[in-house]
Structure 1
Amino acid sequence: MNRTSTHRITICTSCRHKGDTCQPGYELIKRLDAAIKAAGDTISEDFEIAGTACMAGCDRPCTVAYYASRKASYLFGDIDADQDIEALVDFAKQYAVLHDGWCSSVDRPGKLRKTTLARIPATIIALEDRQEPIS
């Protein structure tokens, strides 16, 4: 099946365990990528998984964002690469089929019910045709 990735998961790579130099985001990216690939067709959409330098969730590492065009976006904190992979994969399955991305906290799997830092409503950016140049 040849699908284009319209869903994304971004993981903070600069988060550190408190009082430690460990950066768990890199390990989380590797484990989540493998788990998403292993889930195969049980996830109805492809997910692009990437890291980013900072997501301003430093007090609650690891920080993970789910987003897609015209869907609500989610930011989760306190994610553990050893314990939370199943919940992250289950949320990917759920998020893929939500038309607008909207779900309540009680519908989110496992620990994600209580570690949501933000749910951001979907935005649609419209470009205006301008007759005169912008100065």
Structure 2
Amino acid sequence: MDGKSTGPLASPPYSVAQTAPHQILVCKACKHKGEDCKPGFALLKKLRAAIASAGLGDEFEVSGTACLAGCVPAHGEPCVVGWRATGKATWLFGDIDPDQPLDELIEFARLYAAREDSWMSGKALPQHLCDATLARIPAAMIVTREGAIQ
């Protein structure tokens, strides 16, 4: 590179601006089919309504995002859902069926919001989510010459 600025870069297709303290991401693009994920869109719509009905609308933004790369096509058309927030662990769950009740996802949202760092053992999770956990990623602590930033 010659060090010259080429102007502002467009946001990548996977970037999602966060407008609430916590964010739930629902995969809506199928890497296996190269098209929109209809079950993901269905889950996104149902989960937004369920979060609002549970009184968690001020705490959580529910957004669709590009492929989260956690689905297994042999399982049919399961969905992948992620939780993230500044200073908290990120959780990724797979094999989420949009046609099943969302009670455990709402229960996890309450647990996630209540914990300072959202770190918990699998035993603390609702049963299906314990079995569907793809990743629990510690919150990033980035250190620069100027000091630590979150």
The answer to whether the aligner puts 1:53 opposite 2:66 as a matched pair is: yes
- The structure-2 alpha-carbon separation of the partners of 1:117 and 1:84, relative to structure 1 and needing over 3 Å to count, comes to farther
Match of 1:38 among 45, 53, 69: 53
- Following the alignment from structure 2 to structure 1, what is the Cα–Cα distance between the partners of residues 90 and 101? 19
CA contact (8 A) 2:71 2:95 kept: no
Could you tell me how far apart the structure 1 residues matched to 2:89 and 2:108 are?
13
Shift of residue 14, structure 1, vs aligned partner: 1.7
Q: Percent identity?
A: 48
Question: In structure 1, what residue type is equivalent to 2:114?
Answer: V
User: In structure 2, what is the Cα distance between the partners aligned to 1:84 and 1:104?
Assistant: 23
Asked if structure 1 preserves the Cα contact closer than 8 Å seen for 2:41 and 2:64, the reply is yes
**Matching residue within 123, 126, 147 for 1:106:** 123
Let me know the Cα RMSD of the aligned residues.
Answer: 2.4
**Inter-CA distance 17–34: structure 2 relative to 1 (3 Å threshold):** farther
Aligned residues: 122
Q: Tell me which residue corresponds to 2:135.
A: 118
The 5 Å alignment of 1:57-96 reads: 57-59=70-72, 61-96=78-113
Larger RCO, structure (CA 8 Å, separation 6 or more): 1
TM superposition score normalised by structure 2: 0.72
1:6 aligns with 2:21: yes
Q: Is the 8 A contact 1:12 1:63 kept in 2?
A: yes
Q: What code does the residue aligned with 1:34 have?
A: A
Higher strand proportion (structure 1 or 2): 2
TM-score, normalisation: structure 1: 0.80
Measured after TM superposition, the shift of residue 6 of structure 1 is 1.3
Cα distance change on mapping 1:105 and 1:62 into 2, 3 Å: same
